[in-house]
Structure 1
Amino acid sequence: MDRIQLHKINERLEFINELILDVAYRQSNEEVLDTALKKIMEMLQIDYGYVVSYTEIDKTIRNVEIQCNLPDGFLEEVINYRFENILVRDSIRDSMKKEVSIVSKEDLSTPYQKYISKKYGFETMIIVPIGFNDVFSTILMLLFLRKEKDNILEYVPLLETIGNTLWVLLHKQKIYREYQNNIIRTEKLKVLGELAGGIAHDFNNLLTTILGFSQIVLTRELSEDIRTFIDIIYKSAIDGKRIVERIQSFNRKQLGRSKEVHLINLIVESGIEMARPRWKHFYETHGNNLIIIKELKSNSKIYCVEHEIREVIINLLSNAMDAMEQGGTLTIKTYDEDDKVVIEISDTGPGISDEVREQIFEPFYSTKGVNGTGLGLSIVRDIINAHEGNIKLKSEIGKGSTFKLYFNKYIEKEDALISFDSDTDINLNLDKEVNILVVDDIPQVGNTVVEMLKTIGLHADIETESTKVIHRLLQKKYDIIVCDLAMPELNGISLSQQVKEKYSNIKFMILTGWPERLKKEDHNSIDLILRKPITMEELAQAIKNIL
């Protein structure tokens, strides 16, 4: 090898090194390709250049990624034709996937190829493969206004190296974008968790009132229809309680889950009933007709968190209704399939495209614009995964979609734990009178707890200002104090310390939606912690434990 050849090789190696250094830290594929194209065109004194991707199935141009110095009207002409008819013969197109191809004007075969060559005056073309797969291909197109086929042959190895290098760099960009997207998704989840912390306290207070008084009402004599309505309110409040707990888990990284055995049809029926007011109002208001078909043929039970499975049902029913704004048919089925219990929800909406289907379970992905959070189906998937289940989607454009949920059948002969109703015995039957002081700065929440305590047979009073509690203790003897953690002026922890210092025999209970935020030393003056919102069963059990 003589000195001239060594010099040329050294120049090309330096060019490759310079190119890599220049494009390696570009922030997008467009920047990488634009920088590379301009450098290659400058080195080889190329007149026109562009990077194009096209589909492998029908050979139509997918996208013109980048361009440089193209004459007016060139892209508009070629973009509307199948790529194979524009500049490339079959034999060249097949070989260019593996190596750089050089095409002169004489190599063109079809009338349209010759027309393009004559109109825009190019004499030689270089096709540099960048990346190919079964879906689409990307190539670098370099066009000369002069005959350069023989002169350019010595640059073929360099161009092949450039093509391979660009493919590696573009793959690096893809990994970098995925990394950035993961960071953004993590930040979104972090913000959502912080937002949950801000609203959870207020929601828990509202749910405490709804939950408490619905249970109190259920202990009274009621007509059957009123009892049904109140029971729905109670179960909805329970679901709200669990949903708030799961939202809070964004911050504490864990779920407080209590799985029990439930008949699948009862969960599905209750989910349908809770969703019914929405579709009744929506379709009647708009004068459209929704046909509901129920085929609940499974008699099996599953081991689950009931409200979570009901939430899945309601979410999928709501999505189906959103897909059928003009009306349609909604079909809900349950059946057994070997050792699985299957829930099937179908709609006759417009269907879901393959592109949407690939992302539909991702957090924050929504097709509803400002009307959607993008969390619904992500939560559905997470709930099903947590129950060791499976979800499948089948959809056809113009015909509708079907979601199938698979759960393990519960085969042991055990009954589900009974939830609260009017027959549940919550009276503690204590042999002594117990006086309880409820401390909460929100009167409706404090009064709810007072009424719940009275319903289970205890004496209770309310105090809305924590700074007045010590004075109240001088006026009346109390056995237990039930205090909200977040109190103005004097919070629950500080109050417990003051009470214990003067009245060590008084039992002190804290109510909070965030018990995990309490420090270890905070527990020194607290006898028991209850997570808000509370049910009467939880309150009765807490009193029993503390006494």
Structure 2
Amino acid sequence: MPVVEEHFDVNERRDAGQPRWRLLAELGRRVFDPVDGNALDQRVAAALLELVSARSSVLFEVTGDEPPVLQAVAGELILHDVLDCLGTLVAEIVSAPAERRGSGELAVARMHGAGCVLALPLHVRDYVIGALVLLDGPERRFDEDELAVAQAFANQTAVALENRRLYAQLSRAVSAVETSQKQLVESERLHAVGELAAGVAHHLNNIMTVILGNVQLTLNDILPPAVIVRLRSTERAVLDATEVVRRMASFSRSEPLDESQEVDLNQVASDVLELTRARWQDEAQVHGLAIRARLEGGRIPSVKGDPTALREVLLNLVLNAVDALPSGGDILVLTWAAEGMVYCSVGDNGVGMTPDVRQRALEPFFTTKGFRCRGLGLSVSYGIVQRHHGTLSLDTADGHGTTVTIALPAVSGDASTTGAAGTRASGVTVLVIDDDAAVRDIMAQILRCYGHTVLVASNGRDGLAQLGPELDLVITDLGMPGMTGWDVVDAVKRVRSDLAVLLLTGWGDHPHGQRDGQAAPDAVLAKPLTQDKLAAVVAELTAARATRARSR
């Protein structure tokens, strides 16, 4: 046999190689399938062995830039020391000058103790992306036809690998664009809904200012107990509606955090359970379910924060717990204090979360509830807790319920509530400016009940005409035709910088629209407001003005 092989002429070799070239064409159609790029590496390594018989094959890919890192990604199982030697050889090919890559000298080499190696660089344009390697026994010799067909297969492989890389890169880019587009659409949708909600909220707040004011003024009278109960219920309903409107108005807008109040988490939790009773009790009963929710409140100090935002957190947690009880069950809200922190947990014995869901539970827009949910509850709650310098943790297991615990810094023991509720200023003169006659009238009535002298104006210009020396305070609405509240504040401060100005707004606690250079009001209050809150702020502002006057 060696003699016959040695005298095998060139024409016979070419004729013998024809089936191999036909096989190359067939393998090209079978291996380089663009639909299934994930298994391409293994198909390439196996096809090379089918094309050129050898003991084993390895596909290397370049995974680094400077210096290039070569990694075996597919092929037959080879001993690590042999694989290392192959890696060294391929590294030499990759680092060789471009004009020498793929030459016979580099393509074929003999490795000490390993046998004969055919190493074929995979290059795209002027850079190498990897190499195909065939390994056989030391007696093996690769003929010219084998070298040519193997190099042709390597060229096809390089194009296929590069196309796969470009396709993956394009897919990532398209995915990023789609994600950005979805986020932009969602952002614009939230903005549009927020603008609509803000306009609706402004009108609703004016209406509720009148209702709440009349209810509270009536409660100042001597009334039968049954009437008082009904009025208190109406008052509570209006205040609850106020919170709903404020949440609606702040939808899609990032409001600054108000940390000026001390908050009792026991009271917040109690309020939330009442607010959500329709969901966990009434709606559940309609569907034949029994959901029991209770609060076990411990002795806890207050926390510093925004009660509306914290109420929003617990509201989300309770509603999530309800959704986790499709067959009914229990919701337990606990509060306790330890080591300078106040804790509140909301737990249920419902379906729980799988590890994958638990890992993504705090991601914005992630939801397991389908299209009926925006997937913002937990992520928004997490953000609110963080802005309160607290933490939010999840304890859950699939089929064993979920407990979400928030921890917030406690107010120090020597802290005292600084509110001025119940404080009454001695009779002062107040100018009320509001284009809504009903709001203007109820504000005047409340102030007169506290012993103040009240002047009224229906617009900014009429109000400015009444800026006499007897005035102690100006209360102005924000949204008015002609001169806005910001314009009134600026004009008053230019005429009498010592005069306190209170800005009332139906657009929430942090209204927009103040122009650069305009003077700021001494205080801002959102409508509707209770008579006690109004009286307290009037007392605070007029007292501060009197203190400044005495210090001059």
TM-score by length of 2: 0.59
Deviation at 1:273, TM superposition (A): 2.7
CA drift of 1:255 comes to: 0.5
| Structure 2: distance between partners of 1:151 and 1:350 | 63
Tell me, yes or no, if the aligned pair for 2:262 and 2:304 is still in contact at 8 Å: yes
Q: Figure out how many residues of one structure are paired with residues of the other and give that number.
A: 416
Q: Percent identity?
A: 19
Aligned 8 A contact 1:481 1:509 in 2:
yes
Partner Cα distance (2:498, 2:342) in 1: 53
Q: Give the counterpart of 1:520 among 512, 516, 523.
A: 516
1:485 aligns with 2:464: no
Classify the secondary structure of the residue corresponding to 1:49: coil
What is the CA–CA distance in structure 2 between the aligned matches of 1:174 and 1:377, rounded to whole Å? Answer: 28
What is the one-letter code of the residue matched to 2:197? I
Query: Which amino acid in structure 1 is aligned with residue 28 of structure 2?
Result: L
Q: Which moved more, 1:537-546 or 1:286-295?
A: 537-546
**What is the one-letter code of the residue matched to 2:346?**
I
CA distance in 2, matches of 1:498, 1:405: 46
Give the secondary structure class of the aligned counterpart of 2:363.
coil
Asked whether the 8 Å contact 2:270–2:295 carries over to 1, the reply is: no
Aligned-pair CA distance for 1:227: 8.3
Q: CA deviation at 1:467?
A: 7.2
Q: State the shift of 1:197 in Å.
A: 4.0
Deviates more, 1:372-381 or 1:513-522: 513-522
- Counterpart of 1:317 in 2: which secondary structure? helix
- Give a deviation string over 1:296-336, Cα, whole Å, max 9, x none: 34535433333322221121111222333542221222344
Q: Residue 331 of structure 1 aligns with which residue?
A: 332
Equivalent residue for 2:28? 44
Secondary structure at 1:383 match in 2: helix
Aligned-partner Cα distance in 2 for 1:505–1:339 = 42
Provide, for residues 31-83 of structure 1, a one-character-per-residue CA deviation record: whole Å limited to 9, x for no partner: xxxxxxxxx999934488354489xxxxxx9xx9xxxxxxxxxxxxxxxxxxx
Match for 2:277: what amino acid? R
Aligned counterparts, 1:317-328, within 5 A? 317-328=318-329
Letter in 1 for 2:537: E
1:199 alignment counterpart? 197
Q: Which residue of 2 aligns with 1:458?
A: 452
CA distance in 1, matches of 2:338, 2:191: 38
Gaps of 5+ in 2: 1-23, 41-55, 62-70, 77-144, 547-552
For residue 524 of structure 2, the aligned residue among 493, 511, 530 is 530
Q: d(CA) in 2 for partners of 1:163 and 1:369?
A: 38
Report the AA paired with residue 49 of structure 1.
Answer: D
Amino acid at match of 1:518: Q
Q: Shift in Å at residue 232 of structure 1?
A: 4.3
Q: Is the 8 A contact 2:298 2:336 kept in 1?
A: yes
Structure 1 residues 175 and 311 mapped into 2: Cα distance closer, same or farther (>3 Å)? same
CA contact (8 A) 2:447 2:454 kept: yes
Change (3 A) 1:453 1:190: farther
Query: Do the aligned residues in 2 keep the contact of 1:328 with 1:348 (CA within 8 Å)?
Result: yes
Which of 1 and 2 has greater Rg? 2
SS at match of 1:517: coil
1:439, 1:484 within 8 Å by CA — same for their partners in 2? yes
Q: Using a 3 Å threshold, how does the CA distance of structure 1 residues 265 and 482 change in structure 2: closer, same or farther?
A: closer
SS in 2 for 1:99: strand
Find the aligned partners of 1:299 and 1:50 in 2 and give their Cα distance.
64
SS in 2 for 1:511: strand
Per the TM alignment, residue 183 of structure 1 is displaced from its structure 2 partner at its CA by 6.0
Name 1:364's counterpart in structure 2: 365
Contact 1:100 1:156 in 2 (8 A): no
Kept in 2, the 8 Å contact 1:515–1:529? The answer is no
8 A Cα contact 1:440 1:483, kept in partner: no
Correspondence 1:285-296 to 2 at 5 A: 285-296=286-297
Amino acid paired to 2:274: E
Say which of 417, 426, 429 aligns to 2:426: 429
2:186 to 169, 185, 188: 188
Q: How does 1:204-243 map to 2 (within 5 A)?
A: 204-207=202-205, 209=209, 212=213, 216=217, 229=233, 232-233=236-237, 236=240, 239=243, 243=247
Shift in alpha-carbon separation, 1:478–1:338, aligned structure 2, 3 A? closer
In structure 2, C-alpha distance between the alignment counterparts of 1:542 and 1:225, rounded to whole Å = 33
CA separation of 1:393/1:345 partners in 2, compared to 1, >3 Å: closer, same or farther? same
- Which ranges of structure 1 fall in alignment gaps of 5 or more residues? 1-39, 55-60, 65-90, 103-147
Conservation of the 8 A alpha-carbon contact between 2:280 and 2:293 = no
8 Å Cα contact 2:432/2:440 also seen in 1: no
CA distance in 1, matches of 2:244, 2:178: 34
Q: 1:412 to 1:175 in 2, by over 3 A?
A: farther
Query: SS of 2:375's equivalent?
Result: coil
- Shift in CA distance, 151/100, structure 1 to aligned 2, threshold 3 Å: farther
The residue identity in structure 1 corresponding to 2:413 is E
Match of 2:136 in 1: none
Which amino acid letter does the alignment assign opposite residue 192 of structure 1? L
| Cα contact 1:364–1:374 (8 A) shared by 2 | yes
Partner of 2:88: none
Is the Cα contact below 8 Å between 1:288 and 1:327 reproduced in 2? yes
Determine if contact 2:433/2:463 at 8 Å carries over to the other structure: no
Give per-residue Cα distances to partners, 1:485-524, cap 9 Å, x unaligned. 322355446677899999999976543446542113543x
Q: Spell out, residue by residue over 1:79-109, the C-alpha distance to the aligned partner (whole angstroms, 9 max, x if none).
A: xxxxxxxxxxxx999999943449xxxxxxx
The Cα shift of 1:163 comes to 3.6
Q: 1:214, 1:153 → 2: CA distance?
A: 92
Deviations 1:223-273, CA, capped at 9 Å, x for gaps: 5966874674576467458646855853xxx50412444443333223223
Cα deviation, 1:154-204, whole Å, max 9, x if unaligned, reads: 435863785477357626743663465246425633553454344325424
Distance verdict in 2 for CA 1:152–1:357, change over 3 Å = farther
Distance across 2 between alignment mates of 1:437 and 1:368: 49
The separation in 2 between residues aligned to 1:301 and 1:400, in whole angstroms, is 29
The answer on 1:99 being equivalent to 2:87 is no
Give the 3 Å change call, closer, same or farther, for CA 41–242 of structure 1 in structure 2: farther
Shift of residue 383 of structure 1?
0.8
Matched, 1:414 2:415: yes
Within 2, Cα distance between the matches of 1:481 and 1:256?
Answer: 26
Give the counterpart letter for 2:426 in structure 1: N
Question: 2 CA distance for matches of 1:41 and 1:345?
Answer: 65
Whole-Å separation in 2 of the counterparts to 1:409 and 1:529: 27
- In structure 2, the residue matched to 1:511 is 504
1:284 Cα offset (Å): 3.5
CA RMSD across the alignment: 5.0
Measure, in 2, the Cα distance between the counterparts of 1:505 and 1:487: 24
Deviates more, 1:360-369 or 1:387-396: 360-369
Q: How far, CA to CA, are the matches of 1:331 and 1:198 in structure 2?
A: 36
* Deviations 1:416-472, CA, capped at 9 Å, x for gaps: 44584xxx12x2113xx625343223x3433342233223322336555667668x9
What do residues 1-39 of structure 1 show as CA deviations (whole Å, max 9, x unaligned)? xxxxxxxxxxxxxxxxxxxxxxxxxxxxxxxxxxxxxxx
Distance 1:292 1:496, change over 3 A: closer
Give 3-state SS (helix, strand or coil) of 1:185's partner. Answer: helix
Q: 1:44, 1:267 → 2: CA distance?
A: 69
C-alpha change, 1:231 and 1:414, in structure 2 (3 Å) is farther
